[in-house]
Amino acid sequence: MKMFLISDNIDTYTGMRLVGVDGIVVHERAELQKALEDTFADKSIGIVLLTEKFGREFPEIIDDVKLNRRFPLIVEIPDRHGTGRKPDFITSYVNEAIGLKL
């Protein structure tokens, strides 16, 4: 199994290429959908890395994929600008999930 990157910027793409992860740079909704379809058709890809920007700009596409497909695994990663999450997002997630203040 291999990983594949779908990025919104060339810097993240270049960094991942340096460590051996192939990928593509897309910017539009149609390009993202086409890249996802092509990735799903390739059975050798087990993990799809997406920059977090896609989750913010096209949540319906990403949520649909995560909810309706078991394979490949979809992982959102921060890009060169850092993450869009709060610094304590894990703690707040756990607090919401189990109802305890950590």
Which residue segment(s) compose the domain that 45 sits in? 2-98
DSSP 45-89: EEEEEEEHHHHHH-HHHHHHHHHH--SSEEEEE-BTTB-SS-TTH
The two tokens of residue 3 are 């990983």
Number of domains in the chain: 1
Using CA atoms, how far apart are residues 32 and 44, in angstroms rounded to an integer? 19
Residue 101: the pLDDT is 66
Q: What is the CATH number of the domain that holds 50?
A: 3.40.50.10580
Segment 9-57, tens digit of pLDDT: 898 899 889 999 999 999 999 999 999 999 999 999 999 999 988 888 8
